[in-house]
Structure 1
């Protein structure tokens, strides 16, 4: 999986380099290129931009709400599971104490209690798996919602500023160098937050 990611990053890097070469080749060797506002001297926008995903997730209000919602569900699930695990642990300790002190009236009673505890342990493992799966599904759903809000806005955004490519840059993996104005993270976060706030009114 890591190897595939490395290959994809390499292909992406080559594509970005080709785009830059084509862009600068078409504009000639004009030295009067201003990158401060993401435009060339001719007033054309750069064909490539990127969004720092880490920064977006850190500052986008909806992303923070999604994260808090997920953490809240995870804490509730963990508390429920931990309570059931605590009860099981107490029952298991009590069973051991009775066995050591000959506290059961018959061997049959001891075996039934042992079977009950084995079933309870199995149920606990099943509950843990169920809760984990539910959280994973919830995380996927929330991540999809978050991605959809971003993609939908970028399609609208790109009608005014037609970039050929908008990259996602996570931990600096995809963009090794970006001129000023090519990082559009703050602009995107600002508008997404404004839209999110408006949607809650």
Structure 2
């Protein structure tokens, strides 16, 4: 039972880690999508260069945005609370199970056969209950994670569409160390401005 409980706690923890990947400000794109996007952008750059048009491009540091964007912090806090609640419920059940097992082992030598069978049955039922609770809580946390992250992505995308147009940019790209963008000119870094505007947008609708 201890291994089962620990495994479930790991599942819940990994679910939260999975959520943090969403927080990397549009870093959930696949390598294929990144490659396709880069090809499209490069083609547009070449076309505009040849036609004499100027493309206005900026970028944001996605790690910094995730750290200071109030909406992202709220999502992280909500998921942490959900995970803690689930862990507390599982631990409570597990402690009750451990206590029952210790009590059974201690009293077993002086128990009659019928009493032993009844106690053993009670322990088995509690084991099954713990497994069911683990599965239910894991499913609930995963469902809540999906709901929160979908809402976060859609709403943040709406914010960025509005902000990008207001600032007059053709592209606002996401940059982070180890990401798809290998070099970014600091002169085009608008991370602080974007964080401020995102927080303003979030405050206006929450």
Shorter-normalised TM range: 0.7 to 0.9
Aligned residues: 178
* Two-structure CA RMSD over aligned residues (Å): 2.6
Residue range with higher mean Cα deviation, 89-98 or 6-15: 6-15
2:194 equivalent among 184, 188, 191 = 188
Instruction: Tell me which residue corresponds to 1:12.
Output: 37
The normalised TM-score by structure 2 is 0.73
SS of structure 2 residue aligned to 1:176? coil
Q: Is residue 81 from structure 1 mapped to residue 90 from structure 2 by the alignment?
A: yes
The structure in which a higher percent of residues are helix is 2
Q: For the structure 1 residues 75 and 198, does the alpha-carbon distance in structure 2 shift closer, same or farther, using more than 3 Å as the test?
A: same
Unaligned 5+ runs, structure 1: 28-41
Q: Partners of 2:146 and 2:159 in 1: how far apart?
A: 20
Quote how far apart the aligned CAs of 1:171 are. 4.4
1:66-115 alpha-carbon deviations (Å, 9 max, x no partner):
2112112211221121111111011112212223x2x322x232122212
TM-score relative to the length of structure 1: 0.74
Q: Which residue of 1 aligns with 2:73?
A: 64
CA distance in 2, matches of 1:68, 1:6: 29
CA contact (8 A) 2:90 2:133 kept: yes
- Within a 5 Å distance, the mapping from 1:120-199 to structure 2 comes to 120-161=126-167, 163-199=169-205
